[in-house]
Amino acid sequence: MAEKAALNKKIGIVGGGQLGKMLAIAAGPMHLQISALDKTKDFPAGPFVHEFFEGDFKDYDDVYNFGKDKDVVTIEIEHVNAEALMQLQKEGIKVHPNPESLNIIKDKGLQKQFYQEKGFPTSGFKIYEGPEAIQAAVTSGEITLPFVQKMCRGGYDGKGVKVIKTPEDLKSMLPGESLVEDLVDIDKELAVIVARNESGETKAFNAVEMTFNPEANLVEFLLCPARIAPEIEEKAESLAEELICEFDICGLLAIEYFLTPSGELLVNEVAPRPHNSGHHTIDSCYTSQFEQHLRGVLNLPLGSTRIKSPAVMVNLLGTEGFTGSAIYEGLDNCLAIEGVNLHLYGKEVTKPFRKMGHATILDDDLDQAILKAKKVQNELRIIA
C-alpha cells in the first residue's frame, strides 16, 4: 500500500531548534518517525524526536552520516552543509529542499540575482566584495546614499543588515561580500508561506502582516489575515506559488515581501523551511505549516490552508538585561486570557532578545486579538 509506505519513511531533520521541535510535534498524530541532528539533545527538539544525533550541521561527515540511513532528509535552518546533502541526494535519498536551491538561498547575492534573472519583482541592487569596494563606489558616484547593506552570507533576524544613511554610517559598514540594495519606502511587510509536493501540487497560506516596534525596530506582532486589498493578497499568493516552482522546492517556502505605498509588491527574501511568520498556523489554520512541510516532503496531499480564526502571533523574547537560567514571570496572567496559546521552546538560558517562545492569540476580531497580544507582551517577562 503506497499510503502506508509514505508514513513508514524515516525522516531526518538537520537542526534541532524550535522549528525542529514543532516539526516533531506535528509528526506525532500521524506517528511519523523523526530524527534530528544538532549540537546537543538539550536543544528544543531533543525530547520530541524518535532519535537525536549529536553533531554539527555545518560539518560534512556529521550531516552525511546522519542522513545516510534516512528516506527523506529536510532542514530547519539554511546554514547546513549542502555538499553532504548533495551527496545524500546522489545516493538516492530524498533531500528537500533540493541542495542546489538551498545554496542559492543561503547567499543573499545569488538569491537577488535569481529574482532578477527569473523576472520576479525585487528592489534594485549591486554586489560588492566588501566595505572598501562599497566606499569606492560611493566616492565614484556609482551608488548614492541612502542604501541598505546586507552581508551575502551568515545574517539572520536583521543581524547582517545595515541601513546606511549618512557619510558617517559608511565608517561602520558590515564586513565581507555584501549586497547594496535600494532603500525601499515600505508601507507594509508581508509574508506568505507556500507548500509544494513532488506531484506538483502547491498551496499557499494567507498572507500575514508584520508590525514593527518603532523603538527596537524588531517585528512586534504578526497579523493573520494581513490587512491588505484582495488583489494584493492574490498577487502575494500567486508570486509565492511561482517562486516555489521556479526553485523546484518540495516542502515549504516562506516569502517575505515589501508592499510599497503605490501598491507594488517586492520580494525581499525567502526561506525554504518552516518560518517564524507561520507559527500562528498551529492554532489558527486547518493545517499547520509544520504538518504541511511534512506532507510536502513526503509527497502526501497538501492540507487545507483555510483560517479557523484571525490570529496575532507575538515572539516571546528574553528581556533586556537578563542572561541566565530562564524564569517566566507573569505566565498565570497570560494563560488566564481567552484565546492565548503559549508555545515555550524550553531553552535553558535566556539572553536579551533571544527567541524563547511565541504566543498565538485567537479572537474573532483581529483588533481585540491585538489588544490581548499587547497584554501578553506587558505581562510576560522572561528574566534570569
Site string for ligand ADP, 279-318 (x = CB under 6 A): ----------------------------------------
Site string for ligand ADP, 145-184 (x = CB under 6 A): ---x-x----xxxx-xx-------------------xxxx
Which of 295/351 has CB closer to ligand ADP?
Answer: 351
> How many Å apart are CA 269 and CA 114, to the nearest integer?
11
Q: Indicate the DSSP class of residue 96.
A: S
- Give the residue closest to ligand ADP by C-beta: 184
Minimum separation from the CB atom of position 108 to ligand ADP (A): 7
Q: Could you write out the three-class secondary structure of 48-64?
A: HCCEEEECCCCCHHHHH
> How many Å apart are CA 75 and CA 297, to the nearest integer?
11
Pick the closest to residue 178 from 213, 218, 147 (CA basis).
147
Minimum separation from the CB atom of position 155 to ligand ADP (A): 5
Minimum separation from the CB atom of position 182 to ligand ADP (A): 6
Minimum separation from the CB atom of position 356 to ligand ADP (A): 18
Minimum separation from the CB atom of position 21 to ligand ADP (A): 21
The helix/strand/coil state of 7 is helix
Minimum separation from the CB atom of position 121 to ligand ADP (A): 13
Q: How many residues bind ligand ADP (CB under 6 A)?
A: 18
Cβ(226)–Cβ(299) under 8 Å?
no
Which of 105/297 has CB closer to ligand ADP?
Answer: 105
Pick the closest to residue 257 from 286, 281, 233 (CA basis).
233
Which of 88/236 has CB closer to ligand ADP?
Answer: 236
Asked if residue 93 binds ligand ADP (CB under 6 A), the reply is: no
Give 175-178 contacts, CB < 8 A, sequence gap 24+.
175/130, 175/131, 175/151, 176/130, 176/151, 176/152, 177/109, 177/127, 177/128, 177/129, 177/130, 177/151, 177/152, 177/153, 178/127, 178/128, 178/130, 178/131, 178/134, 178/149, 178/150, 178/151, 178/152
Instruction: Tell me which H or E stretch contains 75.
Output: strand 72-75
Which amino acid is it at 193? I
Within 28-107, where are the H helices? 60-67, 82-90, 99-106
Which of 160/330 has CB closer to ligand ADP?
Answer: 160
Minimum separation from the CB atom of position 15 to ligand ADP (A): 17
Chain residues 247-266 in contact with ligand ADP, contact rule CB under 6 A? 256
Cβ(35)–Cβ(58) under 8 Å?
no
Sole binder of ligand ADP in the list 7, 110, 138, 186 (CB under 6 A): 186
Pick the closest to residue 261 from 300, 299, 232, 222 (CA basis).
232
Minimum separation from the CB atom of position 340 to ligand ADP (A): 26
> How many Å apart are CA 20 and CA 74, to the nearest integer?
10
Which of 328/353 has CB closer to ligand ADP?
Answer: 353
Sole binder of ligand ADP in the list 189, 220, 237, 363 (CB under 6 A): 189
Sole binder of ligand ADP in the list 74, 98, 122, 123 (CB under 6 A): 123
Minimum separation from the CB atom of position 186 to ligand ADP (A): 6
Which of 184/383 has CB closer to ligand ADP?
Answer: 184
Q: Which residues bind ligand ADP (CB under 6 A)?
A: 123, 148, 150, 155-158, 160-161, 181-184, 186, 189, 256, 268-269
